[in-house]
């Protein structure tokens, strides 16, 4: 099964951006781990990151057309982008939402709402980088 791991804004700065929240693993290291975890689970994983909302929308639309499973960390767009909401609504293959930190436990009130969750078969939050492995395991198990 093909799986797209899609990461939104600022996640390309992993390892440098607020390591006390997001850890010290870089995005390149995360991508490498996701591909390896996927291979071990029999998944063909491709990891992408963008700071441009329209690019993420194009990727989600293509995933909908191709019926490709998605692991999505929409980052800040999680909390307010109705365009992301609409794109996720089109997906036919499973979508697992993932967050490195747990947005529901963050002090900023705006982080407590997700426009992705209504369309996700599962949400993995607060497990650090390991949350991506958990998300891939859930897809491999038929989530």
Alpha helix stretches (DSSP H) within 1-52: 19-22, 27-40
Q: What pLDDT is attached to residue 107?
A: 66
Binding residues for substrate: 73, 79, 86, 100-101, 111
Domains of the chain: 2-140 (3.40.50.9100)
Q: Is 99 a catalytic residue?
A: yes
Which letter, b or e, does each residue of 45-69 get, where b requires 16 or more Cβ atoms within 10 Å of its Cβ? bebebbeebeebbebbeebbeeebb
> Which one from 27, 85, 99, 132 is the annotated catalytic residue?
99
User: What stretches in the chain show pLDDT beneath 50?
Assistant: none
């Amino acid at each position: 099964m093909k799986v797209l791991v899609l990461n939104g804004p600022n996640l390309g700065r992993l390892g440098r951006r607020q390591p006390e929240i997001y850890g010290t693993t870089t995005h390149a290291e995360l991508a490498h781990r996701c591909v390896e975890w996927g291979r071990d689970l029999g998944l063909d994983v491709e990891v992408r990151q963008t700071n441009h909302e329209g690019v993420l929308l194009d990727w989600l639309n293509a995933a909908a057309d191709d019926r490709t499973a998605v692991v999505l960390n929409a980052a800040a767009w999680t909390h307010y982008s109705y365009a992301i909401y609409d794109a996720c609504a089109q997906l036919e293959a499973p979508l697992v939402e993932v967050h490195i930190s747990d947005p529901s436990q963050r002090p900023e009130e705006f982080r407590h709402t997700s426009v992705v969750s209504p369309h996700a078969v599962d949400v993995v939050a607060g497990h650090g980088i390991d949350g991506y492995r958990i998300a891939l395991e859930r897809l491999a198990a038929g989530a």
